[in-house]
Chains A and B, each alone.
Chain A
Amino acid sequence: MRWQNDNLEHWLRRACSGDQRAWEQLVDRFGALAFSVARRVGLNDDDASDVHQSVFLALYRNLDRIEDAKSLPRWIATTASREAIRLKRLRSRTINESALAETVSLEDLLASEEAEAETLAEEGASAHQARLALQNLQERCRELASPLYDDEEPSYAEISERLGLPIGAIGPNRARCLDKLRKLLSKEGFFQ
């Protein structure tokens, strides 16, 4: 089943009622968001997995407190970033403790971490929203737009061969697809 924002409320409501299948859908849908944010903080896979588990444990305990399903991606990203930053600090405490005591007050440190967590959460939630919107484009558009974000962007010749599209048509078609995506996201308030 393709996910859309408008059926997130459905799955969240079912999970709230103890439906394990719905809970699994939430884990599948938002697992990468929680894990990616933790990795972005600089944690290794093991620590990021711990953060992932903490996030879903917190969600499980607070399912009935998520009043607006649309806020869930941001909630997950924020919880993940705070937990990841906290874990990163714990991991590096022995190294930085003496320097910390001399140069940074605890209040300043926490304020700085909170600001970093907010930035990471915003970036993570935006990336999640954009990817979800990309999935809702027609397949042809996805095939044209997605390679732009690959680690190694394929050449126009490679895209032309893969999609059976003249090289000269790739740029204009891709621009139209990205414009559709931009308009979709604009309606969701992405650029505000």
Chain B
Amino acid sequence: MNKRCDDIREGLVELAHGKESADASEHLISCADCRQLLNEFTALAAALRHPSKTPPLSASAAAKGLMPAPSRRLARLVPVTFSTTRHVGPSTLSFECEEFKVRVQLVRIANETSVLGKVEGFQGVVSTESDSSVIANDGRFEVSLADSEDRSLEFLRTGEVIVVPLEAFFDAESS
């Protein structure tokens, strides 16, 4: 790979798309690296030329209907404790909802915020808008929050989604 190779990159793209490039063709005779590149550009062009057909809306709707809508409800939270070691460690909030107890910690590292927690009396998956985690046998989980709008945990199990808003957490932390 040398400067000449960089110069004929555009020609390789032309060849890969069925056009002509005398310079590139001549260079390929003596350059194995560029022959490999041409193979890759050609494979890429073939993949992108493969026709993509959108299914009819009725087909999509039928497929989406295979999974019944789960019941979705807000958990009624009762904060038990809140502690924070500001500037030193994570904030921790414990709360209970109707059928399970959750203890969560908010951990901020650089621009990323994660929720570490432990839940009792619930098996399934815990999820935020952008991340999810299977709850371990001992009830522990860790999920990340995508941005400032991502402020709830969803506990999912078959047929049911329990939404746990974290607003109380953020409110307590900022007060």
Q: B-contacting residues of A (Cβ < 8 Å)?
A: 7, 10, 13-20, 23-24, 27-28, 31-36, 39-40, 45, 48-49, 52-53, 56-57, 60, 123-124, 126-127, 129-131, 134, 145, 148-149, 171-172, 174-176, 178-179, 181-182, 185-186, 190-191
CB pair B51–A36 under 8 Å, yes or no, is yes
> In the complex, what distance in Å separates the CA atom of A19 from the CA atom of B125?
10
Please give, as numbers and ranges, the residues of chain A lying within 8 Å of B93 by CB-CB distance. none
Given A10-B127, A149-B49, answer yes or no on A35-B67 (Cβ-Cβ < 8 Å): no
CB pair B52–A19 under 8 Å, yes or no, is no
Please give, as numbers and ranges, the residues of chain A lying within 8 Å of B86 by CB-CB distance. none
Contact of A35 among B43, B50, B54 (CB under 8 A): B54
CB pair A53–B156 under 8 Å, yes or no, is no
User: 9 nearest interchain CB pairs?
Assistant: A127-B50, A17-B156, A130-B47, A35-B55, A56-B63, A175-B10, A49-B59, A23-B67, A17-B125
Q: Give B31 Cβ to nearest chain A Cβ, in Å.
A: 16
B70 within 8 A of A: yes
Contact of A181 among B37, B44, B69, B125 (CB under 8 A): B44
Please tell me the size bucket of the interface on B: 35 or more
Of A15, A35, A39, A123, the most chain B CB neighbours within 10 A belong to A35
Given A19-B156, A174-B13, A186-B40, answer yes or no on A35-B47 (Cβ-Cβ < 8 Å): no
Residue on A nearest B37 in the bound complex, by CB: A182
Please give, as numbers and ranges, the residues of chain A lying within 8 Å of B37 by CB-CB distance. 182
B132 within 8 A of A: yes
Residue on A nearest B70 in the bound complex, by CB: A18
CB pair A19–B55 under 8 Å, yes or no, is no
Question: Interface residues of B: mostly helix, strand, loop or mixed?
Answer: mixed
Residue on A nearest B160 in the bound complex, by CB: A18
Please give, as numbers and ranges, the residues of chain A lying within 8 Å of B56 by CB-CB distance. 45, 49
Instruction: Kindly supply a per-residue 1/0 record for chain B positions 19-60, scoring 1 wherever the CB is within 8 Å of any chain A CB and 0 otherwise.
Output: 000000000000000000101110111011111111110111
CB pair B60–A179 under 8 Å, yes or no, is no
CB pair A23–B64 under 8 Å, yes or no, is yes
Please give, as numbers and ranges, the residues of chain B lying within 8 Å of A185 by CB-CB distance. 44
B76 within 8 A of A: no
Instruction: State which residues 119-145 of B face A: CB under 8 Å.
Output: 124-125, 127, 130-134
Q: Give B9 Cβ to nearest chain A Cβ, in Å.
A: 5
Cross-chain pairs A/B with CB under 8 angstroms, 21 sampled:
A13-B127, A18-B156, A23-B66, A27-B60, A32-B52, A32-B53, A35-B55, A36-B52, A49-B56, A52-B55, A56-B63, A57-B66, A126-B43, A126-B50, A127-B48, A131-B52, A134-B48, A148-B48, A171-B10, A172-B10, A179-B13
Residue on B nearest A134 in the bound complex, by CB: B48
Of A24, A34, A60, A185, the most chain B CB neighbours within 10 A belong to A24
B85 within 8 A of A: no
Given A35-B55, A130-B44, answer yes or no on A19-B10 (Cβ-Cβ < 8 Å): no
CB pair B13–A13 under 8 Å, yes or no, is no
> In the complex, what distance in Å separates the CA atom of A175 from the CA atom of B13?
6
Q: Give A59 Cβ to nearest chain B Cβ, in Å.
A: 9
Residue on B nearest A13 in the bound complex, by CB: B132
Residue on A nearest B69 in the bound complex, by CB: A20
